[in-house]
Amino acid sequence: MSNKKIKLAVYNNHTLGYILPELPNYIQPLHVSILKGAPFETHPTSKIISKNDCVRLASEKDFEDFRCAFGSFENKYEYEFAF
């Protein structure tokens, strides 16, 4: 098992997701907001992160803003996130 953590991230300010250590160039969506500028998709899939994309670590406040429960993600040994 790898020591690397799963990163909780916000992608282009409209998608809350996670980045797996073995797929560092892809974000897996947890919640997508078309109100914040995400394109409409019935079933959002992983996105390739390009050099022009804005990606930052997500915080507990981001989970609140996207109306997602943070509870199971606050395991600091498994997940990397902003404080």
For the segment 42-71, what is each residue's pLDDT rounded down to a tens digit? Answer: 888 999 999 999 999 999 999 999 999 999
pLDDT at 74: 92
pTM, two decimal places? 0.90
For the segment 12-41, what is each residue's pLDDT rounded down to a tens digit? Answer: 999 999 999 999 999 999 999 999 999 888
pLDDT at 2: 52
Q: What are the sequence ranges of the domains in the chain?
A: 6-80
Cβ–Cβ < 8 Å for 46, 36 = no
